[in-house]
């Protein structure tokens, strides 16, 4: 049985990963679901924290599962920690995107300090808006991930109906990971939505994760 870290996306909380955590515990795995710094209180708490704080909060575990930004953090942790991480499952992780960074910095230069977030999933706890600095931190962090340094097995899951992150992001990550020794698998999740951990395909997502954990 594995020790699994569960990492939510920007604006979410550990509760975002609760359905996966329940499935993992039922199967006998140990789960560590964290609420990242600046989350779980008010959106203003995101001011003054950033990628380095979030990455430091990723548990020291052999398998890391991340939703959205949490998926990028899972890949970043695997790149830094090497063979200590044997499995990464990144769900709807946004691809590194320099154009997105340019757009955010342009908006910031025009005096925009806050950005409205996407609608929350049914039952999801999270923020409805973000300081633009937090979005910049997220995008800069994704661009800084050394994908070629990842040695773990990586499963890239993307929902075919994600209306927040381009489903093509999984392919971008796969190409970046191909420069290194990681073993990469891409899985399309039908009808999962962006927050697939809480969507109608959550059971299917749990099955994908359990299968990955059972593989050598």
The pLDDT tens digits of the residues spanning 133-176 come to 999 999 999 999 999 999 999 999 999 999 999 999 999 999 99
Phi and psi torsions of 208, nearest 5°: -60, -45
List, for residues 187-196, the tens digit of each pLDDT value. Answer: 999 999 999 9
Q: Strand, coil or helix: what is 89?
A: strand
Mean pLDDT, the chain, rounded, equals: 96
Predicted local confidence at residue 95, as pLDDT: 96
Show me where the domains of the chain are located. Answer: 3-214
pTM value is 0.97
DSSP 111: T
Predicted local confidence at residue 143, as pLDDT: 98
3-214 maps to CATH 3.40.50.1820 = yes
Low-confidence ranges of the chain (pLDDT < 50): none
DSSP H/E element including 19: helix 18-26
Place of tokens 């009808």: 191
CB 59 within 8 A of CB 70: no
């Amino acid at each position: 049985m594995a020790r699994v870290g569960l990492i939510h996306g920007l604006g979410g909380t550990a509760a975002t990963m609760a359905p996966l955590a329940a499935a993992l515990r039922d199967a006998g795995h140990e789960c560590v679901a964290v609420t990242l710094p600046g989350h779980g209180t008010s959106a203003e708490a995101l001011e003054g924290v950033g990628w380095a704080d979030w990455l430091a909060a990723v548990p020291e575990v052999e398998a890391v599962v991340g939703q959205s930004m949490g998926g990028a953090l899972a890949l970043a942790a695997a790149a830094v920690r090497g063979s200590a991480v044997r499995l990464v499952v990144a769900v709807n992780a946004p691809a590194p995107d320099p154009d997105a960074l340019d757009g955010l910095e342009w908006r910031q230069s025009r005096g925009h300090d806050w950005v409205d977030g996407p609608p929350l999933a049914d039952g999801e706890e999270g923020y409805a808006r973000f300081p633009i600095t937090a979005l910049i931190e997220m995008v800069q962090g994704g661009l800084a991930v050394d994908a070629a340094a990842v040695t773990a097995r990586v499963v890239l899951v993307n929902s075919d109906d994600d209306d927040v992150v381009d489903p093509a992001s999984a392919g971008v990550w796969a190409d970046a990971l191909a420069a290194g020794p990681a073993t990469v698998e891409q899985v399309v999740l039908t009808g999962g939505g962006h927050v697939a951990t809480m969507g109608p395909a959550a059971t299917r997502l749990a099955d994908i994760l359990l299968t990955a954990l059972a593989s050598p």
